Chains A and B, each alone.
Chain A
């Protein structure tokens, strides 16, 4: 079945610096890759997604890149702020099965 590996499991950066979280997936037929953010005590929410017909997508300080050949995708957060502190999950669509497979999560801490 589909497997998604996410690294690192924890990440601590200084406010204003950049943060990068990486994921690899196993199913070469996957075409949809969302990222979810879960703040402490709250529900996960979609922050950005990318489909396989593009290599990069940006939304203000957040960007996602996709390398289909290598089967990996990454989340980039620039100019980090305290409100970026959260757990981030990557996911990959499991082709034909109408479901997502999630990575293990990354706890991002922004230090003031």
Chain B
């Protein structure tokens, strides 16, 4: 069974703080993704990575950065958190291409005050 875990289920941060969200998968998947989920907007892709140290911008990368130093780990970084980044953040992984099942983590609900 594929297992995708995220470092926190809930986080409360102050405006301007640096925030790290971490995702780990245990199935040797090449592709990893970070989405944010907001009501009525679906799942919007922030960044994705198809290999170690590789990253690609998704549809809403502004205000975010990512790091993939190891194949199993993909981190999302909010350099200076803002209130409009309050959201549910979901990590996912897939074996290789975008034509394969994406396995999601449980999500991190981030509140920025």
**Taking beta carbons and an 8 Å cutoff, which residues of A are in contact with B?**
1, 6, 9, 31-32, 34, 36, 42-46, 49, 51, 89, 93-94, 97-105
Contacts and interface: CB of A to CB of B under 8 A. Distances in A.
Contacts of A6: 42
Contacts of B45: 99-102
Given A32-B99, A43-B107, A45-B104, A98 B43 contact: no
B104 A44 contact: yes
Interface in B10-56: 31, 33, 35, 40-45, 48, 50, 56
Contacts of A103: 42
A43 B106 CA distance: 5
- Dominant SS at the B interface? loop
Interface residues of B, number: 24
Contacts of B62: none
A23 B101 CA distance: 19
Given A9-B40, A43-B107, A44-B90, A100 B31 contact: no
Contacts of B42: 6, 89, 102-105
Contacts of A45: 104
Interface of B: 31, 33, 35, 40-45, 48, 50, 56, 58-59, 90, 97-99, 101-102, 104-107
B40 A51 contact: no
A44 B43 contact: yes
B99 A101 contact: no
A104 B106 CA distance: 19
Nearest to B39: A105
Given A9-B40, A44-B43, 6 more contacts: A49-B101, A98-B50, A103-B42, A104-B40, A104-B41, A104-B42
A43 B90 contact: yes
Contacts of B106: 42-43
Nearest to B35: A102
